[in-house]
Amino acid sequence: MKRFGETYSVLLLDLDRFKEINDTFGHGGGDEFLIQAASRLRISVREVDFVTRISGDEFAIILSCAGGSETVADIAERVQRAFAIPFHIQERSIQGSVSIGIAMLPNDGVDAEAILQRADEALYAAKREQRGTYRFCDIRDDEKIAYRNLLLRELKRAIAHESFHLEFQPTMGVDSGLTTGFEALIRWQHPELGLVNASDFVPLAEEAGLIHEIGEWVIRKAIDEAATWPDHLRVAINVSAAQFRTLEIAGIIERCIGKTDISADRIEIEVTESMILADIERASDVLTKLRQIGVRVALDDFGKGYSSLVHLIRLPIDRIKIDQFFVSQVETSEECKKMVRAMVRLARELRIDVTAEGVENETQLNFLKAIGCGEAQGFFISRPIKDVRNSGLTTSCFPVARQRAA
């Protein structure tokens, strides 16, 4: 790849919404999009540069001797500007964008394989940070990447050995202090890394396509466990976008319910707004199927994403869970206070249940009580626990109830 004394830059590009476009317009539409994308790439670079398609929606550009006045960053920006103009597919106007990872030769490596690997890592970082942006590979990322690869290897092993367990965090009726249910949160007990929280490995499992197996295990375990609890307690189960994309999830839940004598309305599936937005049609089908089975649906981390309120009307949603960000700010920010109050009111008007997440102190709980928020959850009420039946929390959320009695 390297000719003596020359510098090259490799740009790896990923078309951000290709899968969605393919699903929406069929392969004919997908092909049209690719052709238009390729020609935009071609016109964004110089005659001497080389553009090629690597796989489905991945392209590469090799810039020779880029530098000086026309920097690599300028060219990456030019490509992204070219994508900012809407595409016309089957007489419809579509917004496209492209994520770009950049590695330079010789600084980032001297052989083709190493350079491509570095560009790929940079592309991964760009997509992770914000789609539609570009990123240069960063040698300092090495450590992070090594850790990620280690985690990934270990995660695969953990799946084979089922080294996971569930913890359960209660939800409490704000007025009554009574426990209304528990949310299942996955944990990974690793011999050297210790107890790994969901937030540290669920996103990785999602990216690596490992979430289906893990997710199915969570559903099975959570339902089996909840079937042994008193009948008034719900179990909330988080599902990932990838699980949610298949209609299969409703079947899995239905089969798990069938194996126990738990009533379906004791199960609440937690989804996020971004999952719904990723594919509204599919989301609507899955949610409708869940409703038919009798399972409830909660919108998790409400307010953090796009908060497209129309979904609250159009989709069968039974509960919103106000994101902990808002709750954590109610003491310091008037705006957040107003937001929480408005979200509680909105839920009430729409006859949707509401839970405030991440309650960490009494002031926050008192505020929620004053504005009529139905349920609350958070470290102040209880941290996630392992053993629900012997926790003393199946009737009331003990620490809070005790404080009130004192």
Interactions with Mg ion, residue window 248-277 (CB under 5 A): 270
Nearer to ligand C2E, 179 or 240 (CB): 240
Interactions with ligand C2E, residue window 109-128 (CB under 6 A): none
Q: How far apart are the first and last CA of the chain?
A: 75
Instruction: Please state the closest distance from residue 301 (CB atom) to Mg ion, in A.
Output: 4
Interactions with ligand C2E, residue window 280-319 (CB under 6 A): 300-301
Instruction: Please state the closest distance from residue 59 (CB atom) to ligand C2E, in A.
Output: 32
Site string for ligand C2E, 3-42 (x = CB under 6 A): ----------------------------------------
Nearer to Mg ion, 386 or 402 (CB): 386
Preceding peptide of 86 cis, ω within 30°: no
Q: Which stretch binds ligand C2E (CB under 6 A): 121-129, 181-189, 332-340, 394-402?
A: 181-189
Provide DSSP, 175-205: TT-BEEEEEEEEEEEETTTEEEEHHHHHHHH
What is the spatial order of strands in the sheet that 98-105 belongs to?
A: 50-55, 58-64, 8-15, 98-105, 134-136
State how far the Cα of 208 lies from the Cα of 276, in Å rounded to an integer: 21
Site string for ligand C2E, 190-229 (x = CB under 6 A): -------xxx--x------------x--x-----------
H-helix or E-strand containing 14?
strand 8-15
Residue 179 engages ligand C2E in binding (rule: CB under 6 A) = no
Which residues lie below 8 Å from residue 5, measured CB to CB, with a gap of 6+? none
Q: Is 254 helix (H, G, I), strand (E, B) or coil?
A: helix
Residue 238 engages ligand C2E in binding (rule: CB under 6 A) = yes
Binding partner at 358 among Mg ion, ligand C2E, none, C-beta below 5 to 8 Å by kind: ligand C2E
Q: Which stretch binds Mg ion (CB under 5 A): 5-13, 136-144, 294-302, 335-343?
A: 294-302
Structural tokens at position 179: 């426990």
Q: Is 162 helix (H, G, I), strand (E, B) or coil?
A: coil
Eight-class DSSP state of 398 = H
State how far the Cα of 258 lies from the Cα of 272, in Å rounded to an integer: 26
* Residue 352 burial (CB count, 10 A): 18
Instruction: Please state the closest distance from residue 203 (CB atom) to Mg ion, in A.
Output: 14
Binding residues for ligand C2E, rule: CB under 6 A, are 169, 184-186, 197-199, 202, 215, 218, 238-240, 270, 300-301, 324, 357-360, 378-379, 384
